[in-house]
Amino acid sequence: MDSAGDPEIELLSKNNLSKHTSSPAAAWILTTLLLISFLQKRNENILAEMCDISMSTSSHRNQPYSRKIMIFCMTMAGYSVKAYNFLRTSACNCLPSMSTIRNYKKRVDGSPGYSTDALNMITRKVKEMEEQSKKLFVSISCDDMSIRQHIWFTGKSFHGYEDIGESPSSKPATHVMMVMATALNMSWKMPIGYFLLSDGFPAGKRADLLRTAVYHLNNTGVVITNIVMDNCPVNYATFKHLGCNLSRKVCDLNTATDLLNICGKNVLALFDPPHLSKLGKCVKFLNFNFDLK
């Protein structure tokens, strides 16, 4: 069964709830609680549309599901697959199957670069906060992950080369640079983009990618407070390209980048404290002559 609708969906993953749905009674209770919670948040008449689907003839199954139904089913399946299967069985299997849900998720563009769907999701979160007369604050985190060097052909194009969202280069990619936005006054985090990089990717271009991230997030309306990265040499150089002065002398130390958020304030540069502790680099910071007076 095909599905149609906007690929911008909200998936609330609570995978740890699956272990509590081993029995039919537990699945029924969890399904009921999730239905009540979802309907209270959305304030949409999902039940009426579900009843229309379950009471319709079999020919209705050839028609695409509405966006409301797809969002509801993906949210339910994100909480617990067993609870969703229980609900689907109770509805005479008229709701989308798990394969239909997976195919629907594939409509979200996952190519390298910044994700328009993720940024649109953040825009909706900003509007939710504005309805409460509040601002949404986020922190940007950036990190690299090593990948196996491999080039393959999908039938239409080659993949595995360096790609920053524009056009692939001729260099094989060896790692992925991920950029994620984490809400500080809400409970969510969202990967907003990734880039396939090769060895020796310059710090200046990394800084340009982060400038683009700040530009896109400013357009969503969020207030960016800081950028967090680990303390590898390339990240030191990246922060310097962003206007920071990472001197060992406290009087010369400047962790404010030249990037501005929507409030006109400088975005701060931070090194990941757990990573510093793990590498023992925190000892160097203890040698600074801080004037605590």
pLDDT at residue 40 above 70? no
Q: What is the mean pLDDT of the chain?
A: 77
Q: Are 213 and 114 in contact (CB under 8 A)?
A: yes
Q: What is the mean pLDDT of residues 50-74?
A: 67
Q: Are 220 and 135 in contact (CB under 8 A)?
A: no
Residue type for position 269:
A
Tell me the pLDDT band of 254, cut-offs 50, 70 and 90. Answer: confident
State pLDDT tens for residues 122-178: 999 999 999 999 999 999 999 998 888 888 887 777 878 888 877 777 888 899 999
DSSP state of 149: -
Tell me the pLDDT band of 27, cut-offs 50, 70 and 90. Answer: low
pLDDT value, residue 35:
64
pLDDT at residue 226 above 90? yes
Q: Are 138 and 224 in contact (CB under 8 A)?
A: yes
pLDDT value, residue 124:
92
- β-pairing, 266-271 vs 256-260, is antiparallel
pTM of the model: 0.67
The percentage of residues in the chain with a pLDDT greater than 90, rounded to a whole number, is 28
State pLDDT tens for residues 80-128: 787 788 778 877 777 888 888 888 877 777 788 898 889 999 999 999 9
pLDDT value, residue 50:
64
The helix (H) or strand (E) run that includes residue 196 is strand 189-197
- Tokens at 96, concatenated: 């989308």
Residues of the chain by 3-state class (helix, strand, coil), percent to 5? 45, 20, 40
CA 165 to chain centre: 17
Q: What is the mean pLDDT of residues 5-9?
A: 40
State pLDDT tens for residues 175-185: 999 999 999 99
Give 241's contacts (C-beta < 8 A, 6+ positions apart): 203, 204, 206, 207
Residues linked to residue 260 through DSSP beta bridges, in sequence order: 266
Stronger pLDDT, 23 or 185, i.e. the higher one: 185
Q: What is the mean pLDDT of residues 73-81?
A: 79
